[in-house]
Amino acid sequence: MTTATTPAPQLAAPRTDFVLLGVAIAGVSLSAPLIAATAAPALAVAFWRNAFAVGALTPVAWFRYRARLRALTRREVSLTVGAGALLALHFALWLPSLSMTSVASSTALCTTTPIWTTLALRLRGHRPPALVWSGTLAACVGVMMLTGVDLSLSPRALAGDALALGGGIAAAGYVLLGAEVRRSVDTVPYTYLCYGTAAAGLLAASLLSGADLTSYSGATWVKLAVLTLAAQLIGHSLLNRVVANLGASVTSTAILLETPGAALIAALWLGQQPPALAYPALLVIMAGLALVVRAGRAN
């Protein structure tokens, strides 16, 4: 019997999950360059990527998983809706922070997600091995090597820093709830309800902020569609797929690879040269992730 202090035993993750994790990171790494190239408000972009994903998943969810959706328990629904709300909160906090503080500060603070994930697991009674702590901190150091520490003392910048930090904490909650739900719920029903909840929350935030939701060019709609396919349907959905076996610590730490991945994609696609520390930072993040994975296998 599983208790609050004894996590359920986790089967060894198959090699396929690590391959899918790599594909997922490649998908989410396209997010920042695509958003930078898309002429639409940040909250509107976040709304449409979730709304389009719900539209794409609807036929599969209703024709193949309708019975499973109807059979969801109250607890499963509550946790999934909670995960979707936290995903919406992550976007709603982080994206506005990019215009209030430096991109470097926003990225560094938002990618503290694995630290909050590990702390939350500790508070729930799980004792992460020393390798998990070491790997998590090493991976976060790698991100800071790439983004730099550029905290400003202006009130607006400090508010942006706080929003970015809140976005990282919300992302940790999203990953943790997803790992819990995915123990008993298939990927499609989970992502369908999760993205639907996130889309509803982001729609409300967009309307309250007065963000333009429709007056875009054809090229912008194409970029939104590509963003949905790459970052949402492939990236986030595969993360939701593998978190059941890999666990919250490994998944949240691997997401840190999005930062150097986005920098390299921006260099190839947008002609933005990556900083000199991009490659050393990538190696440090990979080393940190390897420590977390090793700890999971040894546990």
Strand, coil or helix: what is 6?
strand
Q: Which of 49, 52, 35, 215 is nearest to 107 (CA)?
A: 35
Which burial class, exposed, middle or buried, applies to 110 when counting CB atoms under 10 A from its CB (0-12, 13-18, 19+)?
buried
pLDDT recorded at residue 155: 81
Backbone angles phi, psi at 211, to 5 degrees: -70, 140
- How many whole angstroms separate alpha carbon 49 and alpha carbon 90? 14
Average pLDDT per consecutive 10 residues, the chain (299 residues; last block may be shorter): 36 74 86 77 92 96 93 95 96 82 69 81 75 78 68 72 88 91 92 96 94 92 92 90 84 78 71 68 77 65
CA–CA distance from 17 to each of 51, 71, 242, 243 (Å)? 26, 27, 6, 9
> What is the model's pLDDT at position 270?
64
CB 288 within 8 A of CB 138: yes
Q: Two tokens at 47?
A: 């709304």
- Cα separation, 41 vs 209, in Å, equals 10
**How many CB atoms are located within 10 Å of the residue 271 CB?**
7
Burial of 278 (0-12, 13-18, 19+ CB in 10 A): middle
The overall pTM is greater than 0.85:
no
- Please tell me the predicted confidence (pLDDT) of residue 8: 39
Residue 117 is predicted with a pLDDT of 84
**Spatial separation of the C-alpha atoms in residues 213 and 31, rounded to whole Å:** 19
Amino acid, single-letter form, for residue 112 = T
Three-class SS of residue 297?
helix
Whether the CB-CB separation of 238 and 27 falls below 8 Å is answered with yes
